[in-house]
Structure 1
Amino acid sequence: MISYKNFLIWGVLSPNEDEAQHLKCKANYYAILDDKLFKRGLTTFLLKCLNSQQTDYIMRALHEWICGLHTRGRSLATKAVRAGYY
């Protein structure tokens, strides 16, 4: 997440040529809005990229509070994407 942000904001690449090439290709799928990283979806709106702390909070919220039911992986992931998270 940090490498994509650094590349999109400041144009900083990894000294490793393979990693730099990979980053250039994959960076087209990401956007920066208000200093936050978003992934562009083909059929969805922008999806907000989360760090590990935010991920734990969102997963707990979707699994326990919002859903109420203990849903399985695929339906929980679909609900997270519908809520706008990547």
Structure 2
Amino acid sequence: MEIDVNSAIISDDDWRNPIINYLQYPTLPSEKRIRIMALSYLMWNGDLVRKSKDEVLLRCLGKKESMKIMGETHEGICGAHQGGRKMCWLIRRYGYFWPTMMKDCINYSKGCEACQRHGSIQQAPSVPMNPVVKPWPFRGWAMDLIGKIYPASNKQHCFIIVATDYFTKWVEAKPLSPPHLKRSLSS
């Protein structure tokens, strides 16, 4: 796949600048980090390329070019709205590279409106229920608070506390009023 990207225009804040400067002028002073990083790169026909682990040369892209490549790969004429990791793999296979590729591809695919509208809903995998087994009645209780109930009862009860015995499934429920109302009613 050949996508027309123009790397001749490199802005000042481009990640490629320090590496290109070091490769073109290795005698000028530069940071140790840049010198070590430059070992994986070389200049080829005026473009910066990266040597991959499997000895393939990947053309290095800037921000604008990488956005164009991600757009074509994800939703272009041959794009299949792949997820971020698959999209990153495809872009590397097409022969392109930039340092934040994986993160950018994942963010691009997550931000695709068509994928959000028409993609399948991701659900958490089902987990088997673990029953709570108690050896005899009234050994263990489950408690819950229901409320706030509106309108409150005539005695200003707006909560219900419910307790259930695990063994017999016996249920007890008592109405409650908020603590600040009890103080004001008793005074």
Q: What is the rounded CA distance, in whole Å, between the counterparts of 2:96 and 2:77 in structure 1?
A: 15
Q: What is the rounded CA distance, in whole Å, between the counterparts of 1:74 and 1:45 in structure 2?
A: 19
Please state how far the C-alpha of 1:13 moved relative to its aligned partner. 3.5
Higher relative helix content: 1
How many residues end up aligned between the 2 structures?
Answer: 81
Q: Structure 1: which 5+ runs fail to align?
A: 15-19
Which of 49, 52, 56 is equivalent to 1:45?
56
Secondary structure of 2:76's counterpart equals helix
Tell which has more relative contact order, 1 or 2 (C-alpha 8 A, sep 6+). 1
Q: What is the rounded CA distance, in whole Å, between the counterparts of 2:79 and 2:49 in structure 1?
A: 28
Which of 79, 87, 109 is equivalent to 1:76?
87
Give TM-score, length-normalised by structure 1.
0.86
Secondary structure of 1:32's counterpart equals strand
Q: What is the rounded CA distance, in whole Å, between the counterparts of 2:41 and 2:77 in structure 1?
A: 28
CA contact (8 A) 2:72 2:79 kept: no
Secondary structure of 1:31's counterpart equals strand
CA contact (8 A) 2:50 2:58 kept: yes
Please state how far the C-alpha of 1:25 moved relative to its aligned partner. 1.0
Give TM-score, length-normalised by structure 2.
0.41
Q: What is the rounded CA distance, in whole Å, between the counterparts of 1:40 and 1:66 in structure 2?
A: 29
* Cα RMSD after superposing both structures: 1.3
Q: Which runs of 4+ in 1 moved over 3 A?
A: none
Q: Deviation per CA, 1:5-64: give whole Å up to 9, x if none.
A: 0000112344xxxxx111111110001011110010011510111011111111101011
Higher relative strand content: 2
Structure with bigger gyration radius: 2
Q: What is the rounded CA distance, in whole Å, between the counterparts of 1:44 and 1:66 in structure 2?
A: 29
Q: Structure 2: which 5+ runs fail to align?
A: 1-15, 98-187
The answer to whether the aligner puts 1:2 opposite 2:17 as a matched pair is yes
Please state how far the C-alpha of 1:68 moved relative to its aligned partner. 3.0
- Output aligned runs, 1:59-70, within 5 Å: 59-70=70-81
Secondary structure of 2:33's counterpart equals helix
Amino acid at match of 2:69: I
Identity between Structure 1 and Structure 2 (%) = 28
